[in-house]
Chains A and B, each alone.
Chain A
Amino acid sequence: MSWCIWQWPSGLLCALAVPTLHETIQLDEAGLVQALQRGDEAVFSSVMDWYSGSLLRLAMAYVPSRAVAEEVVQETWMGVLEGIGRFEGRSSFKTWLFRILTNRAKTRGTRERRYEPLGLAGLNSEGEEGPSLEDTLFVTEGSGKGHWIDPPQGWDPDTPERALLSKECRMAIEAAIHGLPDKQRQVITLRDVEGMSSEEICNILDISETNQRVLLHRARTKVRRVLDPYVRGDNI
């Protein structure tokens, strides 16, 4: 919500809360779905503008190239047109939209041999067992057992934003995300990059909340490690 504030000539101060585009979409989802069902092209165009970047990013978490990801996004919007008439609002429009994408991306990813369905072997390869940080980072014996050997240093609070201005750092983060195991990449993309709620993510990816948190923690730990030298200034 953004605020519009003005002062009358009498000196009275007035404030009006104005919803952002994202909030408008969330607040008036029923209206949005009805407009799409009616065939309102302007609404379709706005919704595409609003969601396509996020869809493209998530598609990249399943398929090996941007070109294929763009095709998946295209197929997703075609899926929206095919299915919007039957959309009953049992989930939010956004969850429904992202589920269409993940289903299509999984099919394409399997075909392109990027995405492996998550079975028991998959769970192990995602490295969900054991700690996210190596034992070698901590004291293993004596009274200080379990404490940091090389304690983490403070980061300058302004640095992450500044670090992102560096193309090198941005590319390193993108590469780190790209190099994560499938499920970790999908979870961190939806939760941290896109800012979705864990409930939405569990619905989209069909995983439990606990599983989602474990994957997220592992993914964040790896990205933090990549970010560290840039924030400390070693690589800027």
Chain B
Amino acid sequence: MDNNFKQQLMGYMAGNFTCKEMAELVTDYLEGSLTLTQRIRFQMHMGLCLACRNYLSQMKYTVATLRQLPSDPIPPKIKEELLRRFQTWKKGKSS
């Protein structure tokens, strides 16, 4: 699509939202906190702008990647110590 025409169309349909403004709204969009009007304008911009669609996808994948970071368990010696303290606590509670 011709770039000038695309920008004019985006300006008309998406209320002159620029890519810069869209990039700042990505988390609000993903968190579902945009108003209905903002959401429609955001989606219109996304529909017309491949670069912003790519940016949105990249942010989604960043979140998905973070969700898969493995967590380290606590060392067994700490768990053993806590279980010992639990037993002491239980004895103190029942006496």
Contacts and interface: CB of A to CB of B under 8 A. Distances in A.
A60 to B, nearest CB: 9
A192 B63 contact: yes
Interface residues of B, number: 49
B67 A70 contact: no
A230 B16 CA distance: 34
Contacts of B93: 39, 85
Please report whether the interface of chain B is mostly helix, strand, loop or mixed according to DSSP: helix
Given A146-B18, A146-B19, A146-B21, A53 B66 contact: no
Interface residues on chain A, size class: 35 or more
Interface of B: 3-4, 7, 18-21, 23-24, 26-28, 31, 33, 50-52, 54-55, 57-59, 61-75, 78-79, 81-83, 85-87, 89-90, 93-94
Given A81-B89, A221-B59, A224-B58, 14 more contacts: A39-B93, A57-B71, A57-B72, A74-B78, A81-B86, A131-B23, A137-B20, A143-B4, A146-B18, A147-B19, A152-B51, A155-B57, A217-B27, A228-B58
4 tightest A-B contacts by CB? Answer: A146-B18, A151-B51, A53-B71, A217-B27
Interface of A: 39, 41, 44-45, 48-49, 52-54, 56-57, 70, 73-74, 77-78, 81, 85, 131-133, 135, 137-138, 143-148, 151-155, 157, 159-161, 163-164, 170, 173-174, 188, 192-193, 195, 198, 209, 213, 216-217, 220-221, 223-224, 227-228, 231
